[in-house]
Amino acid sequence: MATMRTVDAGRGRADLGILTAGLAVSVAGDAAAFIALLLRLQPQGSGWVAALLAAELVPVVVLAPVVGRVVDRLETRGVLIVALLGQALVAVPLALLDGPLPTVLLFAALAALAAFVRPATSSLVPAITGPSGRERGYARLSLGFGLGWIFGPAVGGLFTGWFGVRAAVLADAATFALLAGACALLTVRRRPDPSAAADDRSGGLRLLLADRVLTVAVLGVAISVGAAIVDNVAAPFRFVDQLGASSAQYGLYLTVWGAGVLVGSQLLPLLHLSHRVAVAVACLAMGAGIAGIGLAPGLLLAYAAAALGGAGNGILNVAQNALITARTPPERHGRLFATVSAVNQTAIGGGTAAAAPLVAWLGGGGALITAGLTTMAAAAALLLVTTGATEPTEPTEPTDPGEPGEPAAGAKEPTSEQAPA
């Protein structure tokens, strides 16, 4: 089983703050660099732009079995640092080489290293907070991601306009190094137990399919995410062509959705829902928001629907991670997180491919209504299929045998009220 070097509550809070701040800066850099690379390839034609999008998705799916085993067999903080330093190194030639083929290939290498970062980060959170604090930990982490993705694209557009693509990507390389430095400051350790790794050779997909609740939840979320991604393509047609929004008003929609994500990501610790129900409620809210945008007669109601959809998106980001860690022992977290990332990325790819023909057939509003109703149907099915499922015994974070006198992570914190998964 995974073991960890335990920390007291004060150090746990400090670790979580360091990780969140580092992620916010790095994610903002990623978003800025992605915008810059899209602008680099746009004159080369839509085929190269599509290749860049594929280069972001495919490595996460293909490498999931390897990523999961690495995260579960090697010390997790070390995996994070190596992956981030590798990204910093790859980003330098990515900035300097302007051709479309080197850009796509190097971006795929960057995405391959990024495939290790999310599962490793998600697996570290319960080690930092302890089981009783994981919802708070994932909420804080989601705040960092959300802030990065809100400010990153705007910064990327401005930075590219002022200094060029090369400078924007080099700045991203600096953010990778900054996050690696932040991870080096973490006091928590999540170390694998070699005997457990030898005994448990199950892949992430096999582990996922062995748990009916997790299988249904992940499938339901994948359908919801695949349907919801249609919003990315349909929303400009809905707001600009059908609701008469200006560029600034369309930009306000994106801001409202992002603000909803930030607020929603902080709500789960306050809702006292089981994680299974929270995932379903999040998908229902997200679907209702997307359908509401398609049905709204004017901009104000469309903005209100966007706030609801964003809040559901934010709750989902936290609830799914909490559900996974509640239903699986710590030594399997890396494989489960890598597998779920691969499933979600596959859904995003499918939804993106279906979006353009759906908009052409139904128009922006019709496509959004269809996507929202599909998301809500998946959420309802998740609730119905898993009703009455047996709740697992809470997995515990084992302590490092070499430090028996230290309290478990978060042990000095007051126990938070938390519904079982």
* Helix/strand/coil (H/E/C) assignment for every residue in 350-382: HHHHHHHHHHHHHHHHHHHHHHHHHHHHHHHHH
Dihedral over Cα of 345, 218, 77, 182: its sign: positive
pLDDT recorded at residue 198? 53
- As given in the structure block, the two tokens for residue 66 are 């390897």
Distance, in Å, from the CA atom of 90 to the CA atom of 101, rounded to the nearest integer, reads 15
Gap between the Cα atoms of 291 and 282, Å rounded: 14
User: CA quadruple 381, 387, 390, 395: dihedral positive or negative?
Assistant: positive
**Cα–chain center distance at 134:** 16
Q: Helices 76-96 and 100-129 sit at what angle, rounded to 10 degrees?
A: 160
Each residue's pLDDT expressed in tens, for the chain with a length of 421 residues = 454 444 455 677 788 888 888 888 888 888 888 888 888 888 888 788 888 888 989 999 999 999 999 998 999 899 999 999 999 999 999 999 989 999 999 999 999 999 999 899 888 888 888 877 888 889 988 888 888 878 877 777 777 778 888 988 998 899 899 889 988 988 888 876 655 555 566 788 888 988 888 999 999 999 999 998 888 889 888 998 899 988 788 888 888 998 999 999 999 888 888 888 999 999 999 999 999 999 999 999 999 999 999 999 999 999 999 999 988 888 888 899 999 999 999 999 898 888 888 988 999 999 999 999 999 999 998 888 877 655 555 544 443 433 333 333 333 333 333 333 3
Side-chain half-sphere CA neighbours of 116 within 13 A: 25
Give the pLDDT of residue 390.
56
Sign of CA pseudo-dihedral 21, 23, 29, 35: negative
Cα separation of 168 and 35, whole Å? Answer: 9
Please, what is the angle between helix 100-129 and helix 46-62, to 10°?
40
Give this prediction's pTM: 0.81
Count the alpha carbons within 13 Å of 307 in the hemisphere toward its beta carbon.
9
> Quick check: 227 and 385 in contact, CB under 8 A?
no
pLDDT at 9: 57
Q: What is the pLDDT of residue 283?
A: 95
Strand pairing category for 3-5 and 189-191: antiparallel
pLDDT the model gives residue 243:
92
Contact partners, residue 293, CB within 8 Å, separation at least 6: 231, 235, 238, 302, 305, 306, 309, 368, 372
How far is the C-alpha of 39 from the C-alpha of 365, rounded, in Å?
Answer: 28
C-alpha torsion angle, residues 333, 376, 132, 24 (rounded to 10): 70
